[in-house]
Amino acid sequence: MKHEELKAKALSRKDVKEEYEALEPEFNLLREMLGARKKVGLSQAEVAKRMGTKAPAVTRLESSLTSGKHSPSIATVKKYAQALGYHLEIKLVQN
């Protein structure tokens, strides 16, 4: 079974779809972070050096957004953004 088929099958279940949709903000942030890192052409190790940490910390940061097990602090995401030459903007959007 291909990934897209498996995803469609899983999302056909209401409980799975609700959990998946609840993670949308984290997935969006991760896409933004990875896209920005790719755009500036930095590896995780290079980002880590600029942040004053080690590469595994950046790996954990990026992977934490997909696991839902840990939410990085705003300060950490801000530091990541600054390491890329970006700044962090946070906004509330009414449903």
Helix, coil or strand: residue 85 = coil
pLDDT averaged per 10 residues in sequence order, the chain, 95 residues: 87 88 86 96 97 95 80 93 96 88
* pTM (two decimals): 0.80
The type of residue at 33 is M
CATH topology of domain 3-83: 434 Repressor (Amino-terminal Domain) (1.10.260)
Render pLDDT for 9-32 as a digit per residue (tens, 0 to 9).
888 999 988 888 888 888 889 999
Q: Which of 40, 84, 23, 39 is nearest to 58 (CA)?
A: 84
Q: Which two tokens stand for residue 9?
A: 């099958």
